[in-house]
Amino acid sequence: MDNRKKIVFFTGAGVSAESGVKTFRDHGGLWEGHSVMEVASIRGWNTDKSKVLKFYNERRRQLNEVEPNDAHKIIAELEKYYNVVVITQNVDDLHERAGSTNVIHLHGELIKMCSSKSKEKTLPYDKDIEIGDKHEDGSQLRPYIVWFGENVPKMIDASNEVEEADIFVVIGTSLNVYPAADLIKYTKDECKTYFIDPNPSDGGGIKDFTIIQTGASEGMDKLKKLLNNEKDI
Ligand code: OAD
Ligand 1 binding pocket includes 143 (Cβ within 6 Å): no
Ligand 1 binding pocket includes 215 (Cβ within 6 Å): yes
- Distance, in Å, from the CA atom of 106 to the CA atom of 145, rounded to the nearest integer, reads 9
> Which one from 72, 95, 105, 107 is the annotated catalytic residue?
107
- Closest by CA to 144, choosing from 37, 56, 21, 31, is 56
Per-residue pLDDT of the chain (233 residues; tens, 9 = 90+): 778 999 999 999 999 999 998 887 776 655 557 888 889 999 999 999 999 999 999 999 999 999 999 999 999 999 999 999 999 999 999 999 999 999 999 999 999 999 999 998 899 999 999 999 999 999 999 999 999 999 999 999 999 999 999 999 999 999 999 999 999 999 999 999 999 999 998 766 666 899 999 999 999 999 999 998 877 66
Return the ∠ at Cα 156 (arms to 147 and 92), rounded to 5°: 45
pLDDT value of position 233: 61
Residue located nearest, by CA, to atom 15 of ligand 1: 14
The amino acid present at 169, given as its one-letter code, is: V
Residue 7 DSSP class: E
Query: How much distance in Å is there from the Cα of 122 to the middle of ligand 1?
Result: 26
Catalytic (active site) residue 107: yes
CA torsion, points 51, 132, 108, 19, in degrees to nearest 10?
-60
